[in-house]
């Protein structure tokens, strides 16, 4: 395991990535308001609820995602994660303990969850949630797992996950409305083909309705695509900043080893086309390794 610095690593601080991560939130906000207006209409007719109160209630519910009990019992299951089993808890505890000690943090402050997956991955979400895949638990030695956990803790300490979580919460009503729109479009198209073949007028009306539903659905879906592309673009800097903080904690070498394992087992093709670059949520593993090694060399020279 990498030697942990005797100097305590800094606590939570607002990094530039936490600010640039607001871009996807700003991009999805107008469409979120539009989709929320659609959901609000039946509530308004039934209970005379003003729109501002409906929207504020949705935002307030999103704030609850930053509470540890909600992250344990609601957010983690929504992400497909679960509480660690006893054997997994032992593996996580032994790798997590030195990371917490390096930052002088209590064990109960963060929530660890396990995602059943064949990918070697981990991610941070909300204000305290750290999720590790089952494959990562099985494949990574303890020191490399500590390096990965240090990287994910760095996201929390840099406040990178705040805007990300808010953006994901705002996208839920947009996504649901887009899916309903595509479903209704399919129903309208099927009904037109089945029952309106003998009437050109009815066929034209049915196809017009199906086309309008498709158009509306694509408007909402396009906003989500833009949000995801912006999130990937700004997410690259947050990954590099989290790597830097992990190096400052003293976990640079094991994190680099874990990244080498990822590159060896899953490949590390550099995105070439603009579509590939927009779809890439992380910088290439070899790029991150090179930056980590450069930071380690710089720290070694300054320590002489």
**pLDDT tens profile 17-27:** 888 888 889 98
For residue 150, tell me if it sits in a domain: yes
Q: Which pLDDT score is estimated for 6?
A: 42
Residue that the structure tokens 């490399």 belong to = 144
The string of pLDDT tens digits covering residues 95-152 is 999 999 999 999 889 999 999 999 989 999 988 999 999 999 999 999 999 999 999 9
For residue 35, tell me if it sits in a domain: yes
Question: Distance of CA 240 to CAs 8, 17, 114, 131, 281, Å?
Answer: 20, 10, 24, 19, 12
For residue 5, tell me if it sits in a domain: no
For residue 69, tell me if it sits in a domain: yes
CA dist., res. 219 & res. 222, Å (int): 5
Residue that the structure tokens 């009306």 belong to = 205
CA dist., res. 294 & res. 287, Å (int): 11
Q: Which pLDDT score is estimated for 86?
A: 95
The parts of the chain modelled with pLDDT lower than 70 are 1-11, 185, 187-213, 268-281
For residue 9, tell me if it sits in a domain: no
Q: Which pLDDT score is estimated for 132?
A: 96
Which 3 state secondary structure label does DSSP give 82?
Answer: strand
Q: Which range of residues forms the domain containing residue 298?
A: 16-303
Structure tokens given for 225:
């695509």
Q: Report whether 242 contacts 154 (CB < 8 A).
A: yes
For residue 210, tell me if it sits in a domain: yes
For residue 113, tell me if it sits in a domain: yes
CA atoms within 13 A on the CB side of 53: 7
Which 3 state secondary structure label does DSSP give 113?
Answer: strand
Beta bridge mates, 82 = 114
Beta bridge mates, 131 = 113, 123
For residue 91, tell me if it sits in a domain: yes
Tell me the percentage of the chain whose pLDDT exceeds 70.
82
Structure tokens given for 93:
């505890």
Report pTM: 0.83
Which 3 state secondary structure label does DSSP give 130?
Answer: strand
Number of domains composing the chain: 1
Question: Residues 28-40, buried b or exposed e (16+ Cβ, 10 A)?
Answer: bbebbebbbebeb
Q: Which pLDDT score is estimated for 205?
A: 59
């Amino acid at each position: 395991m990498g030697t942990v610095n005797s100097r305590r690593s800094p606590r939570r601080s607002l990094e530039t990535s936490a600010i640039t991560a607001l871009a996807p939130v700003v991009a999805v906000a107008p469409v979120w308001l539009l989709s929320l207006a659609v959901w609000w209409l039946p509530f308004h007719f039934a209970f005379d609820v003003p729109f501002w109160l409906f929207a504020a209630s949705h935002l307030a519910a999103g704030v609850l995602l930053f509470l540890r009990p909600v992250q344990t019992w609601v957010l983690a299951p929504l992400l497909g994660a679960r509480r660690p089993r006893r054997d997994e808890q032992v593996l996580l505890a032994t790798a997590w303990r030195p990371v917490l000690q390096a930052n002088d943090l209590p064990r109960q402050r963060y929530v660890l969850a396990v995602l059943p997956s064949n990918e070697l991955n981990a991610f941070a979400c909300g204000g305290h949630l750290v999720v590790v895949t089952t494959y990562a638990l099985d494949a990574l030695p303890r020191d490399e797992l500590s390096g990965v956990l240090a990287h994910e803790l760095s996201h929390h300490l840099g406040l990178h996950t705040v805007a990300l979580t808010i953006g994901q919460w705002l996208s839920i009503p947009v996504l649901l409305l887009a899916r309903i729109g595509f479903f209704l479009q399919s129903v309208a198209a099927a009904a037109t083909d089945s029952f309106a073949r003998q009437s050109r007028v009815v066929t034209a009306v049915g196809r017009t309705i199906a086309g309008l539903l498709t158009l509306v659905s694509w408007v909402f879906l396009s906003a989500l695509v833009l949000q995801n592309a912006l999130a990937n673009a700004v997410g690259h800097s947050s990954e590099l900043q989290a790597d830097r903080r992990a190096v400052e904690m003293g976990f640079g070498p094991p994190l680099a080893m874990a990244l080498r394992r990822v590159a060896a087992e899953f490949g590390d093709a550099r995105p070439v086309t603009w579509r590939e670059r927009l779809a890439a949520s992380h910088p290439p593993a070899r790029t991150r390794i090179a930056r980590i090694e450069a930071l380690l060399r710089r720290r070694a020279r300054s320590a002489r």
